[in-house]
Amino acid sequence: MVASTSKQQSGSLKDFCSNKNHMIPSLLVNCVNALDKNRLDFQGIYRINGQGSLIQKLLKELKGSKEIVNLDMILKYDTETITGCIKAFLKEIRDPLIPPYLFEDFYQACDSELDFKIHDAILKLPKPHQDTLIYMFGHWNRVVINSEKNLMPLENLAKCLAPTVVGIYMEKDIKIDAAGEGIEKQIKIMKRLLSMPQKYWQIENSQEGMKSFQNSVFYI
């Protein structure tokens, strides 16, 4: 069996984390800071693809450092390049944000109406994945909140991001119907997580009592 999200890989998520308290790659923090500043109203955010060469240029610049950079350095790029950089990075890491071996745990949790089951599934993630998932869904939740302007309601955003964020094992010779069912499950997980209230992604939610990102040192 192979993971459906397997791509050209560049290392584990942990390899790009420098802060042991908040194990989130600075590349993602830098991109999210830029998007949250003045790009959340961009129509088609995360859906419109950027120019490949520009995405790779920004990706290379940000992967080379574990520091928080000046926002102007990122804001010179268009929105689709910044979101493209985020998606490219998440595709390249060794395991997706939600690794394939936890797919069933997340699917069962998201198939339930009980929020505590989602919380339990998140706590099963390795700390870098756990911290990064909480951080990124806080951002993606803000994208959804601005959907009247950016035209990216929850369902659209889930379809765009699910194959990148949610890992799933599939047989190499899997039939089309089965592959389609797997994709639908990925989208269902993504939709359920995106439907969680904004405050959920700000509460203490990690193995070591992760504090609210509202007061995180990553925000500038």
Residue keyed to tokens 């070591």: 208
pLDDT given at position 212: 42
Find residue 170's DSSP bridge partners.
Answer: 2
Question: Could you count the other beta carbons within 10 Å of the beta carbon of residue 120?
Answer: 12
Query: In the chain, which ranges are continuous DSSP H helix?
Result: 26-38, 52-63, 71-75, 79-92, 103-110, 115-123, 127-145, 147-150, 154-165, 176-194
Instruction: Determine the Cα–Cα distance for residues 201 and 119; give it in Å rounded to an integer.
Output: 11
Taking the C-alpha atoms of residue 118 and residue 103, their distance in angstroms, rounded to an integer, is 12
Q: How far is CA 26 from CA 45, 53, 86, 123, 171, in A?
A: 21, 21, 11, 22, 34
Look at the block and give the residue holding tokens 């998932």: 133
Query: What is the pLDDT tens value at each position of the chain, 220 positions in all?
Result: 445 444 455 789 999 987 767 899 999 999 999 999 999 999 999 999 999 999 999 999 999 888 888 999 999 999 999 999 999 999 999 999 999 999 999 999 999 988 899 999 999 999 999 999 999 999 999 999 999 999 999 999 999 999 999 998 765 545 545 567 889 999 999 999 999 988 888 744 444 434 443 344 344 3
Rounded Cα distance between 84 and 45, Å, is: 10
pLDDT of residue 9: 52
